[in-house]
Structure 1
Amino acid sequence: MLLERLYEAAVPRLADKRVQEVRIGNQLVGVLLDSGELGAAYALPGERRIVEPVFPDPAPFIGMPAADLAARLLEPDLVSRALGLAVCNAVAQSDPSRCLEDPDVATTVPVRPTDTVGLIGLIHSMHRRLAGWAAHLIVFDRSLEGEPGIRPVEQQPELLPLCDVVFVTGSAVTNGTLEAVLPWCTKAREVVVIGPSTPLYPEVFADTGVTVIAGATWLPQHHARALEGIAAGLGFHDMADLSRRWALRVR
C-alpha cells in the first residue's frame, strides 16, 4: 500500500531524530523535528466526525522518536495519519533532476481546450483556472457531496476513465482514497497529486500511474510563524508566503 511505501521511504531519513514541537489546528497539523525540519499536512476537517482536534494536547508527542510518530501514518484515525504524514513531509528531499522548472502545475502540466479534466478534491484555485479552459471539468469531493457542481464518488468508476488529465488533492494520500481511484484513470496522460499534504517522494509513486507530484516545503526562517498559524487554525493558502512550492516528475 502507498502509506506503507511512504513510511518505509521516510524511516531512514528519520534515524536519530526526535519530535521537538507539534501543533494541531482545525486545518493543518505541523511537526518540527529537533533537526530543524518542519512538515505539515491537512487534517481533513471536512471528513472528521469531531470538529475540534482529536489531540488537543501535543505534549505526549514531544521528545518522541520521529519514526514512532511517523508510524501513526498507518493508523485508521485521520488526525493520526496527518501527524504521521507531517513527519514524513518534514524530511522530504526534492531531487533536482526531477523538478519541473515552474512549480505551478497549472502551467507546467498542459491542459488542452478539448480536454476533460477530473478534479478529485475541490481545490478552488485550480477550479477557477480550469473551469474556463478545459472542455469539461468533473469535480469530486467527499466532504462537499450534494453541493452544486460536485459529483458523487459513486460516479468515479464511470467518469474518471473519460478524463484526459486528473488532479488529485494530496489529502487523498492521507484518507487512503488515492489508490482506489488510480485504476480508473485509464485514459489520463497526466495524473497529478497536488497540495501541501502531498509527500514529495517520487519513488513512492513509481508504477502507480501518478506522473507528477506537487507539494511544498516550509522556509526555515518562517518556521515559527508557520507553527503559530497552524495552531491558530490557518490553512495553507493563508500562509503560502511562508513556503516554497515544488513540482516533481515521477517518471
Structure 2
Amino acid sequence: MELNRKLLACATTAAELVNIDHVTIGIGFTAVTTSDGGIGIAANGVALDGCCAGNVDIVDFEGCPATDLLQLIMEPAPMARTMALATINALNHRQALAMPEDPGNAILFDRFGIRSDARVAMVGYFPPLVYLFEKKGVHLSIIDDTKGLGNKKTFYDQLDGWADVLLITATSIINNSTETILSHAGPDLKTVLLGPSTPMIPKAFAGLPIDMLAGSAITEPRQTLKIVRHGGGTRALKPFTRKVYWLAA
C-alpha cells in the first residue's frame, strides 16, 4: 500500500486544481478525463459481471473535484482503484506526452539485454511481447492469475537467481501486488513496469527496485474514449497512443 500512498501524494497537487469531466467504464479499460484536458486510462482489474447485472451502486464523480476520485487509490475495491489510477494518469497526461518514445521496444530489449537465451519472468501475459520473445529464443516464465498461468511459489523463487529481467503489468497496482512481487526480486534482477495503465511518475517509485517505466501517452482522446466505450483492448488503443518510457539512472 506504500506505492498507493506515494501515487496519491504525487498527484494531489494537480488534482486540487481540476474537476472530473467524464468517467467511462468499458469492458477492458476505464478512462477518466479532467477539466484541464487531461485523459488517462487503466485496465479493469476485475470482471464487470456484477456491474453489468446492475448490482453496483453508481457514484457520480463527474463535475466533482478530481481529489474525490483520486482518494479511491487507497480503497480496498479493485474497481475503485482502477478509476483512481485512470485519474492519476489523466492528471499526469501532459507530462507523459513529453517523455521519450520506444515504439519498437528497442530500448527495452537493448538496455536489458533481452536476446537469445535471456531469461525473462513476466507478470501478466502480453501476447505481442511473448511472440517476440519466443521468436528470439528467450526463456520465459509467466504468471497470470486471470489466465490461470504459472505457480506463484515457483515464480517468486525464480526472481532471485534464475531471471535476468522481470516484466510486471501495471495492473498489479490495481490488485495491490506490485510491492509483494518486488519483495522477491534478487539484487541483480532488472525490473520493468509496463502497460497502458502504467503511471509515468518516476517519483512515486522512489525506493522500489524499478529500472524502467514503459507506459502509454494518449495522443487522440476522442478515439481513445470511443475504443474504451466499445470494449476495445490494448491493440485497438495502440494507434492513438505513444509508447513512452523512463529509465532509472
| TM-score (norm: length of structure 2) | 0.88
Aligned pairs for 1:1-251 (under 5 A) are 1-45=2-46, 50=50, 52=52, 60-92=60-92, 93-94=95-96, 99=99, 102-103=102-103, 104=105, 105-109=107-111, 110-145=113-148, 150-161=149-160, 162-219=162-219, 222-251=220-249
> Alpha carbons of 1:242 and 1:24: their partners in 2 closer, same or farther (altered >3 Å)?
same
> Alpha carbons of 1:237 and 1:52: their partners in 2 closer, same or farther (altered >3 Å)?
farther
Distance of 2:116 and 2:5 partners within structure 1? 38
2:23, 2:33 within 8 Å by CA — same for their partners in 1? Answer: yes
Distance of 1:75 and 1:49 partners within structure 2? 20
Q: CA deviation at 1:172?
A: 0.8
Residues 231-240 or 23-32, more deviating: 231-240
Letter in structure 1 aligned against 2:151: P
Q: CA deviation at 1:49?
A: 6.9
Distance of 2:193 and 2:235 partners within structure 1? 17
1:172-229 superposed Cα distances (whole Å, 9 cap, x missing partner): 111111100112120544200010000001111122111000101211xx21221122
Secondary structure of the residue aligned to 1:61 is coil
1:17-61 superposed Cα distances (whole Å, 9 cap, x missing partner): 001111001100000101111011001245x67473889887711
2:159, 2:189 within 8 Å by CA — same for their partners in 1? Answer: no
> Alpha carbons of 1:73 and 1:108: their partners in 2 closer, same or farther (altered >3 Å)?
farther
Secondary structure of the residue aligned to 2:4 is helix
Distance of 2:228 and 2:87 partners within structure 1? 15
Distance of 1:91 and 1:188 partners within structure 2? 34
Secondary structure of the residue aligned to 1:185 is coil
Secondary structure of the residue aligned to 2:60 is helix
Q: CA deviation at 1:129?
A: 0.9
> Alpha carbons of 1:136 and 1:180: their partners in 2 closer, same or farther (altered >3 Å)?
same
Identity of aligned residues (%): 23
Letter in structure 2 aligned against 1:206: A
Unaligned runs of 5+ in 1: none
Unaligned runs of 5+ in 2: none
1:117, 1:138 within 8 Å by CA — same for their partners in 2? Answer: yes
CA RMSD of aligned residues (A): 2.4
1:163, 1:187 within 8 Å by CA — same for their partners in 2? Answer: no
Distance of 1:95 and 1:228 partners within structure 2? 20
Letter in structure 2 aligned against 1:151: G
Q: CA deviation at 1:100?
A: 5.1
Distance of 1:19 and 1:228 partners within structure 2? 18
- Size of the alignment, in residue pairs? 242
2:28, 2:233 within 8 Å by CA — same for their partners in 1? Answer: yes
> Alpha carbons of 1:94 and 1:230: their partners in 2 closer, same or farther (altered >3 Å)?
closer
Letter in structure 1 aligned against 2:66: A
Secondary structure of the residue aligned to 1:20 is strand
Secondary structure of the residue aligned to 1:122 is coil
1:26, 1:51 within 8 Å by CA — same for their partners in 2? Answer: no
> Alpha carbons of 1:22 and 1:58: their partners in 2 closer, same or farther (altered >3 Å)?
farther
Secondary structure of the residue aligned to 1:184 is coil
Distance of 2:164 and 2:22 partners within structure 1? 42
